[in-house]
Amino acid sequence: MRKELRTVYINAIGAHLPNEPIDNTEMEDFLGLIGGKPSRSKERMLQQNGIKTRYYALNKQQEATDSVSGMAAKAITDCLEKAKLAKSQIDFLAAGTTQADLPVPGFASMLHGESKLPVCDIASHQSVCAAGIMALKNAFLHIQSGEHQHALSCAADMPSRMFKASRFAHQAHIQEKGLPLDTDFLRWMLSDGAGAMYLADTPNSKGLSLQIEWIEVKSYANSFEPCMYAGANKAKDGSIKTSWLDYPSFSEADADAAINLKQDIKLVNNTVSLGVQHFFQLIEAGKINPKSLDWLVCHYSSEYFKKPIVDLLAKGGLHIEDEKWFTNLHSKGNTGSASIYIMLEELLYSGKLKAGDEIVCMVPESGRFITSFVKLKVVSGRPETRQHAISKTDEILAPSIHIDNKPIQEKLVRELTDIWVDFELALRNTEIIDRIYKGSITLEDYKLLLLNLRQQVIDGSQWIARAASNVSMDYFDIRSSFISHSRDEHKDYQILEKNFINCGGKQEDLYQTPKNIGSEALSAYMFHKASQPNPFDLLGGMFIIEGLGNRLAGKWGRAIQEELGLANDQVSFFTYHETSDSNDNHFERFEKALNSDLLTEDMANKVAKTAKVVARLYQLQLAELGNY
């Protein structure tokens, strides 16, 4: 049965441009002089490409100040800060580049390590300008299919290292004659930068999102020889017979200029014609309606190519007004695969977009000729008007304990109240609970919470029963209370399981998922305590766990229900405990024990200590969701 495809949104875009902007007069200060001589073609190339400033991850000693993966990691940080999203929520990373820092391993692996994202699915894409679109399409399809919920698509390029003067120091012909046009042309066109997009299946609740309607990529490599390439020299017939890896040594490949990045000038105009041809095909297919187009975000590598694009569109009867074109080529340079990210980042946060705007992104590539298009629609989240069920500004109130006016009991209640305040503060700053308070919890988050609580809930009735078995007959009433409490808790896990299944969880996950490391620690401690003779200090643990049900479970359940639009039978485990753990039931037994003769000063100290330990271990259980 085919799964329903999800709508996908770009909810945040980050960018990173290294160091300070460099104007045209400074370029050779950073890239250096070839053979000690200024470039003969520099001024003409700069006049044609229209770039006024760009960015290099180099200093004037031609030393790298960053890396491709380093720049991409900074773009991810910028993106996630704008999204107000924790790295731990990302479950898929797609990354594209023209040339990574290392031949092996893949770029996405290096970026994954650099960015310190959690264990996740990844995909690497290596091409030229279209590599960024390939990564975006991969992330788009993963969210659309429902395989993942939170994805990052990234692109970064750092061509400055390919063009610094020292790169050509051992190429005798170039030292004598200067760079050939096929390389010098690129030296004045390309610059460094990175971008990152956060994709999800729901739009931002506030502000703008970009809904991805479709992404289309076409390769024409079956019809054309390489145009922009590195790692070889072409034969006269345009073929590539020897790779740089086929040379006897890397030094010989370097000396023969095989490692240089080149662009075959006689072929490059095919980029424009193929891109426009693809544009008209999309119009004919009904995917683009020129009349409803509000923005054309077109990656052209040089201002020189814009006029041919406009002219070819006009020949086909299509005129797109200048005010609908968007580029930042002139101020941020041609950053290759990252260019479309850096352009969309500026446009999204420019204040120029409004809900309903239609955007077409056009990214041609001259590597061996690829054309790619993306259709976006601007959507606006509605400001939150309803009052959330809970807030971090809510007063922290410890569970009420009704006790006799005795010094030992009064002192213990004061200590338990202080412990509770610290406990609830720690919970509010635990990631999963923080999301409940902020209203950013997802259905997958909630299912993970239920799945991780299940084992502890099952163990709860068991350690209470064990504690009861270790209470001597001298305390028959307390023993009976423990047994009654165990009986009440015995089937709680069944409510939790029904909630999990009703939320779309798999039954086999309930039985196959082990305890997380926090649950292991909590259960081990509780069973250890329950195994001691007359383990009345477990009353401290009951205060924390039953108090959590009494004071917080219902609030969490209602907040989750409100945020996710769930039914009662999907959150009943939490809402049920608000009444079952109240003073009319479980807490009454707790109070009865505290008011009995068993509460000596020494026992009161033990109860407080156990409450403090259980509070810390319970918080650890929630902090370690999914860590098995």
Q: Average pLDDT for residues 217-238, to the nearest whole number?
A: 95
Tokens (6 digits) for 163 = 């063009």
Report the pLDDT value the prediction gives residue 589, as an integer from 0 to 100: 62
CA torsion through residues 195, 200, 205, 208, sign: positive
* pLDDT, tens digit, 9 for 90 and up, residues 291-312: 999 999 999 888 888 888 999 9
* Contact call for residues 132 and 339 (beta carbons, < 8 A): yes
pLDDT band at 584 (very low <50, low <70, confident <90, very high): very low
Q: Are strands 325-326 and 295-298 parallel, antiparallel or unpaired?
A: parallel
DSSP 423-480: HHHHHHTSHHHHHHHHT---HHHHHHHHHHHHHHHHHHHHHHHHHHHTS-GGGHHHHH
With a CB cutoff of 8 Å and minimum separation 6, the contacts of 375 are: 212, 213, 214, 215, 287, 288, 358, 359, 360, 361
Residue 339 reports pLDDT greater than 50 = yes
Report the pLDDT value the prediction gives residue 430, as an integer from 0 to 100: 93
Measured in whole angstroms, the distance separating CA 193 from the mean position of its chain's CA atoms is: 19
Residue 604 reports pLDDT greater than 80 = yes
Q: Residue 19 class from Cβ within 10 Å (0-12 exposed, 13-18 middle, 19+ buried)? A: middle
Residue 146 region by backbone torsions, left for phi larger than 0, else alpha for psi between -120 and 50, else beta = left
CB atoms within 10 A of CB 115: 23
Q: Determine the Cα–Cα distance for residues 455 and 337; give it in Å rounded to an integer.
A: 47
The more confidently predicted of residues 586 and 23 is 23
pLDDT band at 529 (very low <50, low <70, confident <90, very high): very high
Residue 590 reports pLDDT greater than 80 = no
Instruction: Name residue 429's beta-bridge partners.
Output: none
The SS3 assignment for 109 reads helix
Report the pLDDT value the prediction gives residue 610, as an integer from 0 to 100: 95
pTM value is: 0.65
Q: Determine the Cα–Cα distance for residues 77 and 83; give it in Å rounded to an integer.
A: 10
Q: By C-alpha distance, which of 88, 28, 30, 85 is closest to 56?
A: 30
Domains of the chain: 8-380 (3.40.47.10), 407-624 (1.20.910.10)
Maximum CA extent, the chain: 103
Count Cβ neighbours within 10 Å for each residue of 31-63 and write b for 16 or more, e otherwise.
bbebeeeebebbeebbebbebebbbbbbeeebe
Report the pLDDT value the prediction gives residue 528, as an integer from 0 to 100: 95
* Strands of the sheet with 295-298, listed across from one edge: 121-126, 92-97, 150-157, 193-200, 8-16, 207-219, 370-381, 358-365, 295-298, 325-326
DSSP 24-64: GGGHHHHH--BTTB--SSHHHHHHHH---EE--SB-TTS-B
Tokens (6 digits) for 415 = 């200590």
> How high does pLDDT run on average in the chain?
90
Report the pLDDT value the prediction gives residue 142, as an integer from 0 to 100: 97
CA torsion through residues 484, 486, 491, 493, sign: positive
CA torsion through residues 275, 280, 282, 283, sign: positive
The SS3 assignment for 212 reads strand
Report the pLDDT value the prediction gives residue 1, as an integer from 0 to 100: 34
Q: Average pLDDT for residues 267-278, to the nearest whole number?
A: 94
Report the pLDDT value the prediction gives residue 13, as an integer from 0 to 100: 98
CB atoms within 10 A of CB 405: 6
* Contact call for residues 335 and 102 (beta carbons, < 8 A): no
Report the pLDDT value the prediction gives residue 398, as an integer from 0 to 100: 80
Report the pLDDT value the prediction gives residue 474, as an integer from 0 to 100: 75
Report the pLDDT value the prediction gives residue 274, as an integer from 0 to 100: 96
Report the pLDDT value the prediction gives residue 468, as an integer from 0 to 100: 76
- Give yes or no for a cis peptide into 105 (omega within 30° of 0): yes
The more confidently predicted of residues 472 and 78 is 78
Q: By C-alpha distance, which of 467, 621, 456, 466 is closest to 540?
A: 467
* Contact call for residues 130 and 370 (beta carbons, < 8 A): yes
Residue 172 reports pLDDT greater than 60 = yes
The more confidently predicted of residues 58 and 407 is 58
Report the pLDDT value the prediction gives residue 579, as an integer from 0 to 100: 58
What percent of the chain is modeled with pLDDT above 90?
69
The SS3 assignment for 550 reads helix
Q: Determine the Cα–Cα distance for residues 429 and 433; give it in Å rounded to an integer.
A: 7
283-291: Cβ within 8 A, 24+ apart: 283/318, 287/214, 287/216, 287/375, 288/360, 288/373, 288/375, 289/358, 290/318, 290/320
Q: Determine the Cα–Cα distance for residues 415 and 435; give it in Å rounded to an integer.
A: 29
What angle do the packed helices 554-564 and 443-469 form, to 10 degrees? 160
DSSP 244-294: GGGSSSHHHHHHTTTTS-EE-TTTTTHHHHHHHHHHHHHHHTTS--GGG--
With a CB cutoff of 8 Å and minimum separation 6, the contacts of 249 are: none
* pLDDT, tens digit, 9 for 90 and up, residues 378-437: 999 754 445 567 887 788 888 877 777 788 888 988 999 999 999 999 999 999 999 898
Residue 226 reports pLDDT greater than 50 = yes
Q: Determine the Cα–Cα distance for residues 241 and 84; give it in Å rounded to an integer.
A: 50
Q: Average pLDDT for residues 175-180, to the nearest whole number?
A: 91
DSSP 8-state symbol, 243: B
